[in-house]
Amino acid sequence: MLYIVHGNNVGGVRARAYALIGTFPVGIGGLRELTAASFSKEELQSLAGASSLFAAPEVVLLDTLSENGDSFLSCLDCVELLAASENTFVMIEGALTVPHKKILAPHAKELIEVKKEDGAARFNTFALADALLRRDKKALWTLLVEAWAEGIPTEEIIGTLLWQIKILRLAEQTKGADEAGQKPFVYDKAKRALSKFKAGELEMLGGRLLAVYHEGHMGKRDINLALEMWVLKL
């Protein structure tokens, strides 16, 4: 599957993409990042064709490949393969041109555009992730209320928190940033925060939060109230 998040709101695009990634059932080691500098068409094709009978599908983040024209064009050549893959590809880009949208849109599960809001800075959803790292329940609840007041979708908030829990779990089960496939700064912050969580607690918290997301979408629970209760029980 292929998801595309683009737009002229750089911070908003990245936040929305990570929020989306947070909702996917990714196994340990199942998140990869390809940048313009590290891109290889052969590797992309290999990832698109890979599958596993036993592990959760991988998620591959295609991070602003347009910073290198050759990388971006090579990726465009592979869109049909990405769309048909068992693995999930999330493309982050700036504002796409109309011709590029025409190429990508027919193959994308979702094509999400995040625009700048005139005269206002968008709420930083990663502040919620930082509060979770500190296990600061009061700050997290306050930020949750602020995010809602700014019109941030609950699904995006949940996705951001799920993403942070996944990073924490990666830090819990690996020995270094390279092994986890994460940037050292993100990984080291999560590693330091592990002391605030008991063994097995992160898996439980992640499972409950994922249930909030899915049950909210199925109409079984009020998603806003359920998320607020999850925060207050942290």
Mean pLDDT, rounded, for 217-233: 89
* pLDDT for the residue numbered 119: 47
* pLDDT for the residue numbered 10: 77
Half-sphere exposure of 156 (CA within 13 A, CB side): 21
Half-sphere exposure of 95 (CA within 13 A, CB side): 6
* CATH numbers and ranges of domains, the chain: 2-113 (3.40.50.300), 126-232 (1.20.272.10)
Written as six digits, the tokens of 33 are 């990042």
| The three-state (H, E, C) secondary structure of 144-194, written as one string | HHHHHHCCCCHHHHHHHHHHHHHHHHHHHHCCCHHHHCCCHHHHHHHHHHH
What is the per-residue pLDDT across 175-219, written as a single tens digit (0 to 9) for each?
888 888 788 888 999 999 999 999 999 999 999 999 998 888 888
What is the per-residue pLDDT across 75-127, written as a single tens digit (0 to 9) for each?
999 999 999 998 899 999 988 888 898 999 999 999 999 887 654 566 788 89
For the ranges 40-49, 160-169, 172-181, which has the lowest average pLDDT? 172-181
Contact (CB, 8 A) for 221 and 212: yes
The alpha carbon of residue 64 and the mean position of all alpha carbons in its chain are separated, in whole angstroms, by 15
* pLDDT for the residue numbered 28: 45
Distances in whole angstroms, Cα of residue 222 to Cα of each of 12, 48, 91, 156: 25, 37, 31, 16
In this prediction, residue 55 has a pLDDT band, given cuts at 50, 70 and 90, of low
User: Which residues contact residue 215 at a Cβ distance below 8 angstroms, ignoring those fewer than 6 apart?
Assistant: 221, 223, 226
Whole-prediction pTM = 0.61
In this prediction, residue 139 has a pLDDT band, given cuts at 50, 70 and 90, of very high
For the ranges 55-59, 65-69, 79-83, which has the lowest average pLDDT? 55-59
Q: Could you give the 3-state DSSP secondary structure of residue 20?
A: helix
